[in-house]
């Protein structure tokens, strides 16, 4: 029980630091603005989401349950990569039938400009490699929450 609390606390601390870094970044350029820095951010946030996915999932479910939202099926938190107006990396909660949710490894978000409006399509997938069968959306799953940071 103590390890779970420490893990959840560490996850919350790291996400808070990342959010604070993102806000400070808008004011001045930092050491992670180069290509290497972006690779480190993507790898680091992806690693944290995979490592602390279960506590993040539990926290999201707790917050949403307080708002009266209940899910049918299973939920899981996986890394998300968003492309369009800039690139973002973060965490996405997927929901669906347990057998389908187990297949999800990532979520890909693509911004689609529709004149004056921007739309975002979210695809739970097994792999981030375009052109492979694992890159196709997993049927019966949907995205219920997104936490992302600008790369």
Give the model confidence (pLDDT) of 54-90 as tens digits: 999 999 888 888 777 777 789 999 999 888 877 888 9
Token reading at 95: 């929901």
Strand order in the sheet with 117-125: 117-125, 106-114, 74-84, 86-96, 141-150
Of 44-48, 64-68, 93-97, 102-106, give the lowest mean pLDDT range: 64-68
3-state helix, strand, coil in the chain (%, to 5): 40, 35, 25
* pLDDT at position 95 over 90: yes
As a whole number of angstroms, the distance between CA 50 and CA 89 comes to: 12
- Domain boundaries, given as residue ranges, for the chain: 2-150
């Amino acid at each position: 029980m103590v390890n779970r609390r420490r893990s959840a606390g560490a996850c919350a601390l790291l996400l808070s630091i990342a959010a604070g870094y993102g806000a400070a970044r808008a004011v001045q350029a930092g050491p992670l603005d180069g290509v290497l820095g972006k690779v480190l951010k993507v790898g680091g946030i992806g690693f944290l989401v995979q490592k602390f996915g279960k506590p993040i999932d539990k926290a999201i479910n707790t917050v949403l349950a307080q708002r009266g939202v209940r899910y049918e099926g299973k939920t899981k938190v996986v890394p998300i990569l968003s492309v369009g107006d800039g690139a973002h990396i973060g965490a996405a909660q997927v929901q669906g039938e347990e057998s389908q949710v187990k297949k999800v490894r990532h979520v890909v978000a693509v911004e689609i400009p529709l004149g004056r409006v921007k739309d975002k399509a979210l695809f739970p997938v097994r792999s981030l490699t375009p052109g492979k069968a694992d890159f196709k959306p997993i049927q019966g799953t949907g995205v219920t929450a997104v936490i992302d940071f600008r790369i």
